[in-house]
A and B are shown apart, each in its own frame.
Chain A
Amino acid sequence: MSDVVKEKSMLMQKEMIARNYEAITSKHETGRKVSSTFVPGNLNELLMCFGIVNNLPEINAIQSGMRKVSGNYIQEAEKRGHSEDVCTYVKADIGQMSRGNIAPNGKPFPDPDVLLLSYTGCYTFMKWFELLREEYKCPTLMLHVPYQGDGHSTKTMRDYIVKQLKEVVIPGLEQVSGVKFDIDKLREFLRNSAKAEDDLVWCLEQGKIKPSPIDAYFGGVYYIGPIFTAFRGTTDAIEYYKALKAEVAERIRLKQGPTTPDGTPFNDQKYRLVVEGPPNWTNFREFWKMFYDEGAVVVASSYTKVGGLYDQGFRHDAENPLESLADYCLGCYTNLNLPSRVDLLTKYVEEYEADGLLTNSIKSCNSFSAGQLMMMKEVERRTGKPGAFVESDLVDPRYFSAANIKNRLESYFQMIEQKRRGSGKAA
């Protein structure tokens, strides 16, 4: 397969990621400390206050999935007694560790100095870091973020998180790094975050235009990269989102769709979809192609909200730094209860004038998957638009069945056509 054609923002992001891996793998030379932490509810701005480099094992698993090495890692972990039933991110991580733990830049990952267990929206996180802690025997800082069971956060939850930040996380990071916490630094980083977040939201909202200048799922994983990972709070992220915004604006001007991996603008958009669930990474391009080949563009998705619902108004707030970190953690997509998720998806189908909701259900991920069938039916009922369901896995190639997915997609598009004919609308 030829190389993916990259836009300027993609190249910028690639650079940023490479620099971060370099910072991680050179920690012994530079003396910088490294933390491992998770994407949802990650506290990048806080880590930056201590000069700690942020390593995200989920991102490493994605990288190994895209480089097609995750399958071997997973099998290695299963050989070592990890169940075939559990999240494959965990097994990709553990398998990679037992195979020399080589980073994408070819250098070995150093052991982390701290595991920052920001426990938001997914049960597996807790066990994942208990498993890593067993291996690394390094300090582990647990930040328990309560689930929004009643569909909203409460002052009790927020206070609990702030208290943990003040009494557990910050003192722990001070100890690991030897750096005193400076709240003004945090404020400065949060101001940077908010700027980048504004531009991200602008980009995501352009999915409302026809033809859509973005793909909010496959393209979306690139758009959210910097803000969800090790760059939120940096000036690099501000620059990245400025560049992304300029690219999207240019496509709007030219009435163009998003650029596909083969480098052509995807203009012939027949179907507009909202997608629920994470993508598959082992066959990412193949999966994407199944959509644009059929003329389907994704105009909004829930996956681009796992690291925060910025489009629903949340911004990091320099005036209330710790409270704003707490609100951020509380508001990540998988920390919302199912009625809230249904409300959000329904809103997307309506506001983005989509033809329906497509769910990619991930075998690994109960946090997303448990309840998706009911959610789909409910969104169908409320919007009157048909839904469809495909199944795959994140990084386990054994669970990607191209033929099955293709078949389902094709029948789904036929269903949309029928629905359109039925309601007398032109395609």
Chain B
Amino acid sequence: MSSTAEIVAQCQALYEDLDFTAARAWKAAKPGRKVVGFLPVYVPLEIIHAAGCLPLGIFGGGDSLEVIHGDAYYQSYICRIPRSTIELGVTKRLDFVDGMLFPFVCDVIRNLSGIWKMMFPNVWTKFFDTPQNFDATIGGSYYMKELDELREGLEKLVGHKVTDDDLRRSITLYNENRRLVREVYAFRAAKPWQAPTSEVYLLMRAGLMMDVAEHNQMLKDYMAAADKEDRPKRDNVRVAIYGSFCEQPPLNLIKSIEMAGCYVVEDDYALINRFLMSDVPTEGNPIEGLAMTYIKASVETSCKYVPKEEDKGMYHVQRVRETGAEGVIYATPSFCDPALLDRPMICHRLTEANIPYIAFKYAENSGQMQPIREQAGTFADSIKLWS
């Protein structure tokens, strides 16, 4: 059995490989295979998988990609992820990707879908909308049609039907993935010294670049290995991190927060694998199952409207309580409208619930970690002092 270090090394290699060698190899292994890229925050991976495609998470270029062309497409006051994604495209790193899904998250990714259509006319490119009306008969029935359209688009791409049974099989695998993912996060919340976030993060990011069945096995292996290892427990404070659901921070930022004396016990990094909070029914109409789970049991995050004022931010408060976090770090990408417009509202709720927080901004290519380490360290100290 592999050790956590071996599993994490495998994940890190995938995460760092901006040529996507593994996904290329997956595609080359059988003739006719297709790869469908997707951006944050949420697309129903089950449908892509059911079509026989590999869903490939495209989360920008991180801090190792040198952006040369991308800057010519975006003004200085726009976040990093669209420009580094363009860079990946222009430098042909995504030339094996047959389809690209741009989910609704904000106007930047929305507009990027149009740029992609113009720049890469041979790629099947789709803006994927999720409803902001959460009534089953209104938003729900609209969403079912949207999902049907997505299924039809994929059918065209692969040249065969995607049956309900195909969908049910994929839903079963993704239900298992969601369960295992929840288990890993619960394990981290219970014993954060045994499963540091800098590891868990890589484990989850890697999962968005490989076949789901393989990832399920990896999650099981990781948990078994992490449980066996005896790692020193430090006198760290327990924090939740919010605001990082789209453009991802560099790995060093996560490590810096940990080194500053924080155990991250909750976060919204690469939220897609926790976006649906319950199993999708495998009985009945699978499209309806996917749609209604989104309507009734998806997380609160900035790319969704919260219909009731009293509910706003309560998801965060509840998760802080459930995971035993002692404070919140609201860490957002610079120029990120969704996270930054939401920040005052979420922070009001945290204040009402007596949950301390700090806020700062980052970019996927932030280099200087010293200020962040100091801020997080001071925050940890102040929590220790007052708790």
A and B found bound together: yes
Distance (Å) between the CB of A336 and the closest chain B CB? 9
Q: How many residues of A contact B (CB 8 A)?
A: 55
**Contact stretch, chosen from B113-121, B181-189, B278-286:** B113-121
Distance (Å) between the CB of B93 and the closest chain A CB? 19
- Complex contacts, B2 vs chain A, CB 8 Å: none
Q: Is B358 an interface residue (CB 8 A)?
A: no
Give which listed residue, A80, A137, A149, A391, contacts B129 with CB less than 8 A. Answer: A149
- Complex contacts, A372 vs chain B, CB 8 Å: 75
Q: Is B305 an interface residue (CB 8 A)?
A: yes
Is A370's CB under 8 angstroms from B344's CB? Answer: no
Is A370's CB under 8 angstroms from B111's CB? Answer: yes
Known: A127-B338, A147-B127, A337-B127. A156 touches B145 (CB 8 A): yes
- Complex contacts, B138 vs chain A, CB 8 Å: 160, 163-164, 167-168
Give which listed residue, A123, A156, A363, A374, contacts B110 with CB less than 8 A. Answer: A123
Report the bound CA distance from A124 to B339 in whole Å.
11
Is B75's CB under 8 angstroms from A339's CB? Answer: no
Report the bound CA distance from A119 to B305 in whole Å.
10
- Complex contacts, B133 vs chain A, CB 8 Å: 142, 144, 160, 164, 168
- Residues of B120-152 whose CB lies within 8 A of A: 126-129, 131-133, 135, 137-139, 141-142, 145-146, 149
Distance (Å) between the CB of A132 and the closest chain B CB? 10
Is B139's CB under 8 angstroms from A144's CB? Answer: yes
Q: Is A133 an interface residue (CB 8 A)?
A: yes
Is A134's CB under 8 angstroms from B340's CB? Answer: no
- Complex contacts, B82 vs chain A, CB 8 Å: 370
- Complex contacts, A69 vs chain B, CB 8 Å: none
- Complex contacts, B104 vs chain A, CB 8 Å: 147
Q: Is the interface of A mostly helix, strand, loop or mixed?
A: helix
**Contact stretch, chosen from B43-51, B306-314, B317-325:** B306-314
Report the bound CA distance from A146 to B142 in whole Å.
10
Give which listed residue, B74, B107, B129, B137, contacts A122 with CB less than 8 A. Answer: B107
Is A150's CB under 8 angstroms from B118's CB? Answer: no
Q: How many residues of B contact A (CB 8 A)?
A: 57
Distance (Å) between the CB of A217 and the closest chain B CB? 20
Which of B135, B340, B347 is most buried by chain A, counting CB atoms within 10 A of its CB?
Answer: B340
Report the bound CA distance from A126 to B74 in whole Å.
24
Give which listed residue, A87, A137, A342, contacts B118 with CB less than 8 A. Answer: A342
Is B73's CB under 8 angstroms from A144's CB? Answer: no
Report the bound CA distance from A369 to B146 in whole Å.
27
Which of A87, A133, A339, A371 is most buried by chain B, counting CB atoms within 10 A of its CB?
Answer: A371
Is A366's CB under 8 angstroms from B107's CB? Answer: yes
Q: Is B345 an interface residue (CB 8 A)?
A: yes
- Complex contacts, A90 vs chain B, CB 8 Å: 341
- Complex contacts, A102 vs chain B, CB 8 Å: none
Is A147's CB under 8 angstroms from B115's CB? Answer: no
Q: Is B112 an interface residue (CB 8 A)?
A: yes
- Complex contacts, A137 vs chain B, CB 8 Å: 309
- Complex contacts, A127 vs chain B, CB 8 Å: 302, 337-338, 341-342
Q: Is B169 an interface residue (CB 8 A)?
A: no
Q: Closest 6 A-B residue pairs measured CB to CB?
A: A338-B114, A149-B127, A127-B341, A160-B142, A83-B340, A144-B132
A-B CB contact pairs (8 Å), 6 listed: A124-B107, A124-B337, A142-B132, A370-B107, A373-B73, A373-B74
